[in-house]
């Protein structure tokens, strides 16, 4: 059985995505559990000394100045969850909930949450039993995911709902009991540690960035295959040509394209049909390079997020202090997600342009719409409509999230980041891009075959064409292609068209 080992510092976007999707077993580093125990000891100390500590001995939000009585402390952790479990909207995807809980486990192991080790062990036990809290999609504005997390947290104490490994939804208390798991009993600080952090956004962002990385890798492959179908000029991809303006992203994107084209006759002198190709072919390195750099930045940002504490207050066992901070504020996530979303728009536009050029005999020199000779088919002409629709929705989703002064907590919580909205938009964009890339793969493969150049492909693209044809046979007569496109998009999601020979271009 595959296992994800969490230590608070080495979780990657790729590993988190796989664990959330496949339901991998999670293991917690003993050193991290010990760090949790040491920080939780501070909670008892501040309670005994009646030291004002936000959310531990005082109220929350606008009531942060109110000191709680000893009687109130006993129930405060449970009330923290009950009073904030207000997530609304359609049920969130279970893999997104799992991703958020895995992030929370990992960040708890940093030792700054002051929650008991038993809290982390309980979350891990539920995940390993295939139990996922049920929560709505909406409730966070990106200044901690309080409402989303509290809704999930309520399930962990037996007062909410869960979904089991077979997809059945029921009372969390009943489902936990069926797996021999007792509902979590909360101590002071535990309730706030379950609710007041940015784990939901971090997990959601990791899945969205991972999906964007899969789409980007396949888009590189589709672009290389389109170059083969078009018989494009490879001169703009040569290292010495790119060095006249050596942006790192352009160099990396071109390297990825050359690796995909390795062994192709197209790289030999005199193979190109034109002195200068349309910009959607000539400037692939520049367009993809910009997206690739945005992807690298997004991965780095999210991996820092999921390996850092987002707690407020933050506990420091070494100095025996618990202090308020701003670690829950996810402005960096919003910036990285929106930058990547915007960078994928020109990439999608170039894909649309390349598809149209391959379908146009004035540019491609092939049959109109890539219809087979002597066929009554209209080829791929009607497919341009879903392609353009995907680009329209993708472009619309890439608009920035509006940010305004928040009116929460009587004006105490007066700023927000909008990260969940930005991350959800990136996830939609990645899905649209996967389908658009599937269309380009279909069209480019047919162009290669019509040009009878399949024998001149290098090994990687020859295999890519074979994989495409396993999913979708050549278009000889008109037939519905929607299901073929969806199956190809699923293969894109599974990294079937990722870079050869080494790690993928945009994600580790």
pLDDT at 67: 61
Are 147 and 85 in contact by the 8 Å Cβ rule? The answer is: yes
pTM of the model: 0.94
CATH code reported for the domain at 205-310+319-493? 1.20.200.10
Q: Is beta strand 3-6 parallel, antiparallel or unpaired with respect to 25-28?
A: parallel
CATH code reported for the domain at 3-197? 1.10.275.10
Distance CA 170, CA 168 (A): 7
Distance CA 257, CA 255 (A): 5
pLDDT at 374: 82
* Other C-beta atoms lying within 10 Å of the C-beta of residue 157: 22
pLDDT at 353: 98
pLDDT at 69: 61
Are 398 and 311 in contact by the 8 Å Cβ rule? The answer is: no
Single out the residue of 213, 205, 4, 172 nearest to residue 100, CA to CA.
205
Distance CA 63, CA 44 (A): 21
pLDDT at 61: 59
- Tell me which DSSP letter residue 180 carries: T
| Cβ-proximal residues to 371 (8 Å cutoff; 6+ apart), any chain | 377, 378, 379, 475
Q: SS3 of 328, please?
A: coil
Q: How many CA atoms lie within 13 A of 91 on its CB side?
A: 11
Q: How many CA atoms lie within 13 A of 257 on its CB side?
A: 35
pLDDT at 506: 42
pLDDT at 92: 97
Q: Is beta strand 314-316 parallel, antiparallel or unpaired with respect to 321-323?
A: antiparallel
Six-digit token string for 267: 């790289």
pLDDT at 54: 72
Domain segments of the chain as ranges: 3-197, 205-310+319-493
Distance CA 104, CA 197 (A): 8
pLDDT at 404: 87
Q: What is the CA radius of gyration of the chain?
A: 26
Q: E strands, 15-146, where?
A: 25-28, 88-91, 132-133, 136-138
Distance CA 36, CA 32 (A): 6
pLDDT along the chain (508 residues), means of 10: 93 97 97 97 84 70 58 77 95 98 98 96 98 97 95 97 97 98 94 95 98 98 98 97 97 97 95 96 98 98 98 94 93 98 98 98 96 90 98 98 87 90 98 98 97 86 97 96 98 91 46
């Amino acid at each position: 059985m595959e296992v994800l080992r969490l230590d608070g510092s080495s979780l990657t976007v790729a590993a988190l995505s796989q664990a959330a999707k496949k339901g991998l077993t999670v293991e917690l580093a003993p050193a991290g559990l010990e760090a949790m125990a040491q920080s939780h000891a501070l909670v008892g100390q501040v309670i005994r000394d009646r030291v004002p500590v936000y959310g531990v001995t005082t109220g929350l939000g606008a009531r942060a100045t109110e000191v709680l009585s000893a009687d109130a402390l006993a129930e405060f952790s449970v009330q923290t969850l009950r009073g904030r479990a207000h997530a609304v909207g359609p049920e969130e995807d279970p893999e997104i909930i799992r991703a958020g809980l895995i992030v929370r486990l990992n960040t708890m192991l940093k030792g700054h949450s002051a929650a008991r080790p038993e809290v982390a062990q309980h979350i891990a036990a539920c995940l390993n039993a295939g139990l996922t809290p049920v929560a709505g999609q909406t409730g966070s504005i990106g200044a901690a995911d309080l409402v989303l997390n509290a809704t999930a947290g309520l399930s962990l104490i037996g007062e909410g709902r869960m979904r089991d490994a077979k997809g059945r939804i029921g009372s969390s208390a009943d489902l936990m009991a069926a797996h021999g798991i007792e509902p979590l009993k909360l101590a002071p600080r535990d309730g706030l540690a379950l609710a007041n952090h940015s784990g939901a956004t971090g997990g959601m962002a990791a899945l969205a960035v991972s999906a964007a990385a899969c789409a980007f890798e396949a888009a590189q492959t589709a672009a290389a295959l389109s170059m083969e179908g078009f018989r494009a000029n490879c001169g703009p991809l040569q290292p010495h040509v790119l060095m006249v303006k050596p942006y790192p992203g352009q160099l990396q994107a071109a390297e990825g394209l050359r690796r995909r084209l390795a062994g192709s006759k197209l790289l030999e002198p005199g193979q190109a049909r034109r002195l200068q190709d349309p910009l959607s072919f000539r400037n692939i390195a520049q367009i993809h390079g910009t997206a690739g750099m945005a992807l690298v930045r997004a991965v780095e940002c999210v991996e820092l997020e999921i390996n850092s504490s987002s707690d407020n207050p933050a506990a420091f066992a070494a100095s025996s202090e618990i202090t308020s901070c701003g670690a829950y504020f996810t402005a960096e996530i919003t910036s990285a997600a929106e930058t990547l979303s915007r960078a994928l728009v020109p990439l999608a536009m170039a894909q649309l342009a390349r598809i149209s050029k391959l379908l146009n005999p004035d540019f491609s020199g092939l049959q109109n719409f890539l219809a087979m000779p002597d066929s009554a088919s209209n080829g791929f002409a009607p497919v341009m409509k879903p392609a353009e629709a995907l680009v329209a929705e993708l472009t619309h989703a890439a608009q920035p999230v509006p940010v305004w002064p928040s009116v929460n907590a009587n004006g105490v919580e007066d700023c927000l980041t909008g990260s969940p909205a930005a991350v959800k938009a990136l996830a939609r964009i990645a899905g649209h891009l996967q389908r658009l890339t599937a269309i380009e793969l279909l069209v480019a493969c047919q162009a290669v075959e019509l040009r009878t150049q399949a024998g001149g492909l290098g090994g990687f693209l020859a295999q890519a064409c074979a994989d495409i044809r396993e999913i979708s046979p050549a278009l000889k007569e008109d037939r519905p292609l929607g299901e073929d496109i969806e199956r190809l998009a699923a293969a894109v999601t599974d990294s079937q068209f990722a870079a050869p020979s080494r790690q993928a271009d945009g994600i580790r």
